[in-house]
A = this chain, B = another copy of it.
Amino acid sequence: MNRLLITGSIALDSVKTPIEEHQDMLGGSASYAAVAASFFVPVNMVGIVGSDFPAEYRALYEKFSIDLDGLEVADGPTFRWSGEYEWDLNNRRTLSIALNVFETFLPKLPEAYRETPYVFLANIAPQLQMHVLEQVTRPKFIVADTMDLWIETTRDDLMELLTKIDCLVLNDSETREFTKETSLIKAARQILKWGPKYVVVKKGEHGCLLFGEDLFFSAPAYPLEDIHDPTGAGDCFAGAMAGYLAKHDRLDHDTLRRAVVYGSALASFNVEAFSLGRLQSLTPEHIEERYQLFKLMSQFEMK
């Protein structure tokens, strides 16, 4: 079976919502993406942690058969992030960031990782994403995520990255900020001109949109009554999407559509608990059941 290479951040997160507060949970874009993707394919993870990284979190990765040969353990403390959500959980405020060992991270791919055919560059600086990419010998499909910070501070790097990837994933406000277009349709078309064959615009509670040449697909969001922690939903989405593509090893439009729906399903599970809590009790049957619910809630010409 194909493997999926994932790089991104690994963090100890402290998250506060109006109802709960948790300290030093496993977080980071690579953690969420890798665990979500592992439901579809074996994952090779590239990242860095500090000497204080808890053994239980390492064990958690291993439980999901995530290969850790690419996980560097450096002297010093692990990257830490803390944030707070407002009462409606739509707005997030970053309370503190400590890059720690991440500051000097220069990802090195183990020899065995270089031929991984599918690659997901989870959200980190575009320069680091490119550095990983340069070490992959013959990638078949490359998905990259990004965020407002990189659009604002390292735009040139991001533009260069776009010429090297197949699919960019970003959220709606970032899409508008990046292109200065209010219409998401025009914005996505602009991004396609900059390089990638596909763009996925994540719209949170409104689902997501997949754009490509001759391809437009609108996926709904799963109607959750109670969201406990939105952290990592986008990472789970993109990780699962890339994992689904790697598993099926096909890139036709129908497979891409289904990958987006499976991504949405994993994201919808992830927000049901803090950190990776929900994904730890998840089974393939749960995922399949939710996929069927996505079908039921968006299809209107059923036989």
- Chain A interface residues (CB < 8 Å from chain B): 87-88, 90, 182-186, 203, 205-207, 209, 216-221, 223-226, 254, 257-258, 260-261, 295-303
Contacts and interface: CB of A to CB of B under 8 A. Distances in A.
B257 A300 contact: yes
A224 B186 CA distance: 9
Minimum-distance CB pairs A-B, first 3: A218-B220, A257-B300, A206-B206
A298 B258 contact: no
Contact of A297 (B88, B217, B254, B301): B217
A218 B207 contact: yes
When all copies of this chain in the complex are counted, the total is: 2
A225 B216 CA distance: 13
A166 to B, nearest CB: 19
B297 A218 contact: yes
A185 B225 contact: yes
Contacts of A261: 300
A217 B302 contact: no
24 contacts: A183-B226, A185-B225, A206-B206, A206-B207, A207-B218, A209-B223, A216-B296, A216-B297, A217-B297, A217-B298, A218-B220, A218-B221, A218-B297, A218-B298, A219-B300, A220-B298, A254-B300, A257-B300, A258-B301, A260-B300, A261-B300, A295-B300, A295-B301, A303-B303
A202 to B, nearest CB: 12
A295 to B, nearest CB: 6
A185 B224 contact: yes
Nearest to A204: B206
Nearest to A186: B225
Contact of A258 (B203, B219, B300): B300
Contact of A299 (B90, B260, B301): B301
Contacts of A295: 300-301
Contacts of A297: 216-218
A218 to B, nearest CB: 3
A17 to B, nearest CB: 13
A237 to B, nearest CB: 15
Contacts of A207: 206, 218, 220
Nearest to A221: B218
Nearest to A188: B223
A288 to B, nearest CB: 13
A244 to B, nearest CB: 12
B185 A223 contact: yes
A240 B178 CA distance: 37
A223 to B, nearest CB: 5
A87 to B, nearest CB: 8
Contacts of A184: 205, 223
